[in-house]
């Protein structure tokens, strides 16, 4: 039954996006298999617009405080929201994401861990690398262009601006070897994905900026 409601919401969000924001999708996600979609996070509109840009149902890892109303929280979880506790390793949330990917589902993650406050990409968290290490799944980078202009932090009502969603080619990573440096593997996956997200959007990567700052300091 949740799939039916998800489909209704998909059509509704797609229609609103097209009418209000001239919503356009560039690229596509694979039609089969389990994998991660990793996207930048600039607005509360990212989840519905990213979801209706895919022809497959998706589950979304998101902050546990997004929907504080108990009833709404339960409905959102029923539809595919995976609440993620911030500030510590949430093994339950990541475990659910891993299980879904192994079942051949699509899971969406925002590597930055929260919305940008100025529109620029933020440094990624290592969580995406942990999921890749446990599943060996591919990662599809995605860039949402325009959602920050439509509904930036601190704005209550959306503005009518164009929104585009870009989906890139799936990224495959080598399996994490037992006994290897897990932390380094997680960071390498996260940074590689964030670089590709920046490339899709034609914006500066925080990874490259960080490396440039290090070279200047030397």
Q: Retrieve residue 133's tokens.
A: 């290490």
Q: Torsion over CA of 6, 11, 14 and 17, rounded to 10 degrees?
A: -100
Q: What is the DSSP letter of 171?
A: B
Q: Which of 8, 22, 37 is nearest to 200 (CA)?
A: 37
pLDDT of 34-82, one tens digit each?
999 999 999 999 999 999 999 999 999 988 777 767 777 788 888 888 9
pLDDT of 119-155, one tens digit each?
999 999 989 999 999 999 999 999 999 999 999 988 8
SS3 call for 39: strand
Stretch 102-106: mean pLDDT: 97
Q: Which domains does the chain have, with CATH numbers?
A: 2-217 (3.40.1130.10)
The enclosing H or E element of 12 equals helix 2-21
Is the confidence at residue 214, as pLDDT, over 50?
no
Contacts of residue 22, defined as CB under 8 A and 6 or more positions apart, other chains included, come to 162, 163
Instruction: Tell me the CB-side half-sphere exposure of residue 187, using CA atoms within 13 A.
Output: 6
Is the confidence at residue 217, as pLDDT, over 50?
no
169 vs 63: which has the higher pLDDT: 169
Contact at 8 Å (CB) between 109 and 97?
A: yes
Is the confidence at residue 196, as pLDDT, over 50?
yes
214 vs 156: which has the higher pLDDT: 156
Least confident range from 132-141, 156-165, 176-185: namely 176-185
Q: CA–CA separation, 159 vs 82, rounded Å?
A: 28
Specify the pLDDT at position 85. Answer: 84
Specify the pLDDT at position 31. Answer: 94
The number of beta carbons lying within 10 Å of the beta carbon of residue 186 is 21
At residue 3, φ and ψ (nearest 5 deg) are: -65, -35
SS3 call for 148: helix
**Predicted confidence band of residue 90 (pLDDT cuts 50, 70, 90):** confident
């Amino acid at each position: 039954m949740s799939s039916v409601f998800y489909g209704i919401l998909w059509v509704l969000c797609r229609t609103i996006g097209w009418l209000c924001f001239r919503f356009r999708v560039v690229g596509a996600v694979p039609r089969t298999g389990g994998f991660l979609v990793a996207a930048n996070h600039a607005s509360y509109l990212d989840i519905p617009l990213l979801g209706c840009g895919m022809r497959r149902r998706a589950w979304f890892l998101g902050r546990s405080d997004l929907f504080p109303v108990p009833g709404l929280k339960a409905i959102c979880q029923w539809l595919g929201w995976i609440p993620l506790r911030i500030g510590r390793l949430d093994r339950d949330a990541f475990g659910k994401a891993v299980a879904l990917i192994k079942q051949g589902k699509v899971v969406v993650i925002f590597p930055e861990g929260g919305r940008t406050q100025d529109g620029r990409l933020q440094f990624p968290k290592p969580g995406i690398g942990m999921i890749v290490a446990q599943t060996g799944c591919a990662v599809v980078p995605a860039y949402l262009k325009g959602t920050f202009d439509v509904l930036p932090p601190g704005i209550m009502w959306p503005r009518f601006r164009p929104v585009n969603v870009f989906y890139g080619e799936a990224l495959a990573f080598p399996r994490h070897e037992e006994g290897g440096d897990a932390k380094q593997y997680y960071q390498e996956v996260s940074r590689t994905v964030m670089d590709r997200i920046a490339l899709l959007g034609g914006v500066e990567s925080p990874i490259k900026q960080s490396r440039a700052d290090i070279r200047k300091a030397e």
